[in-house]
């Protein structure tokens, strides 16, 4: 899925119950997170649910970042899938400067998430951006 397909889905689904189901379906489509990526360094802090997000740049700082995520919550896993969709194909430097929060605001997501889910989403974004800064600096 692309960000434009994500936008189209949100436009088509006017009811937030339908949008929540769509977000959870996105999470169900994520590939399984490798067991070796389930460690403290990939654990997102500040989220009520257990969430792991891993980021690597197999082609180096000028290549695309590969993100993987998992959660014990279907909704949070879907939110992680949205982060992955928004950042797909970007280099570490692009991710470090990408305004992911603006994308979520544009979709109206923050208005419809509980404060704990919003905090978890912010934690995911912070972690991915922090990791991207590290990947961009790796030479």
- In Å, the largest CA–CA distance within the chain is 46
Tell me how far apart the alpha carbons of residues 22 and 27 are, in angstroms, rounded to a whole number: 9
Tell me how far apart the alpha carbons of residues 55 and 122 are, in angstroms, rounded to a whole number: 16
Beta bridge partners of 66: 56
Q: Based on the residue annotation, tell me whether 98 is a catalytic residue of this protein.
A: no
Catalytic residue among 33, 47, 95, 107: 47
- For the record, the structure tokens of 67 come out as 């993100």
* Close Cβ partners of 20 (under 8 Å, ≥ 6 residues apart): 75
What are the residue numbers of the active site?
Answer: 47
């Amino acid at each position: 899925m692309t960000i434009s397909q994500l936008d189209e889905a949100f436009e088509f689904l006017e009811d937030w119950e339908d949008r929540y189901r769509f977000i959870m379906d996105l999470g169900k489509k994520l590939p399984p997170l490798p067991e070796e990526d389930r460690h403290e360094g990939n654990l997102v802090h500040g989220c009520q649910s257990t969430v792991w997000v891993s980021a690597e740049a197999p082609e180096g700082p000028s290549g695309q970042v590969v993100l993987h995520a998992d959660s014990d919550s279907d909704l949070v896993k879907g939110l992680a899938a949205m982060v992955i969709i928004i950042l797909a194909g970007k280099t570490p430097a692009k991710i470090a400067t990408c305004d992911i929060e603006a994308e979520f605001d544009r979709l109206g997501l923050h208005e419809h998430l509980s404060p704990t889910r919003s905090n978890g989403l912010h934690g995911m974004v912070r972690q991915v951006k922090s990791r991207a800064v590290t990947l961009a600096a790796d030479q």
